[in-house]
Amino acid sequence: MQLVSETARMRKAQTEPEISITIQPGEEMINFIDMVIENIGLGSAHKICFEVISDFEFEEGKLVSNIGYLKPD
């Protein structure tokens, strides 16, 4: 029974997506930043939604909440 349970957990882990989000300096324009969203898991990711739940400084004096498309309503 333990082997069946372990196999089921392993199968689930192999079909789950794992999302990585990073912010890096823009490649085209120096004043822009790029948000890179990648699926680094083995499963496919569909209908990805996210929200910024805590603000942080990505450069000195620049907060994520001040980025135009991330400003709260």
| 15 three-state secondary structure | helix
Task: Specify the pLDDT at position 68.
Answer: 65
Cα–chain center distance at 12: 20
Residues 6 or more apart in contact with residue 67 via CB below 8 angstroms: 33
**Which tens digits make up the pLDDT trace of 34-65?**
888 899 988 888 888 877 667 777 778 877 77
Predicted structure pTM score: 0.53
